[in-house]
Amino acid sequence: MHTLHREVPFDDAVRILDYCRRNSLKSGGLFEVYSTPGQDTHMVIVNSCPEEGTSDLFRPLGAFYINYLHPGSLTIENEDPEHDGMASTKRHVAAIQQVIDILIDEGHPGVEIRFNDLTALQDL
């Protein structure tokens, strides 16, 4: 089930998508971007960010979607609200929400963002 986390102007959605593409795993970043051919719908996988080590130690933290519901929508595939998910799953969803919020505020060209201090993942 997709839930809307934030709605932004379409230009901001494009800016966030571009930031994730520029900071992909291949270029030393945390993101993997998969786009639907012929549509402007994108899935962004956010990988964990170890303090040290190589990118082969990265593991998927979760994903969010750009323009899935409509242009400018930033959504998360969330558990059914009636389902008692594991606490770690809820923390991962909260971490993805934090990543989205940080990207909205700080994800501009030339800015380097460190995601190592996500409060949702502390004490995991």
Largest CA distance in the chain: 42
Q: What angle (nearest 5°) sits at the alpha carbon of residue 114, between those of residues 25 and 54?
A: 40
Rg over alpha carbons for the chain, rounded to the nearest Å, is 14
Helix (H) or strand (E) holding 101: helix 87-106
User: What pLDDT digit, counting tens, does each position of 94-119 carry?
Assistant: 889 999 999 999 999 999 888 776 67
Instruction: Report helix, strand or coil for 85.
Output: coil
Q: Round to whole Å and give the CA distance between 122 and 39.
A: 37
User: What pLDDT digit, counting tens, does each position of 36-93 carry?
Assistant: 988 899 999 998 765 555 555 567 889 999 999 999 999 998 765 555 555 566 778 8
The structure's pTM equals 0.84
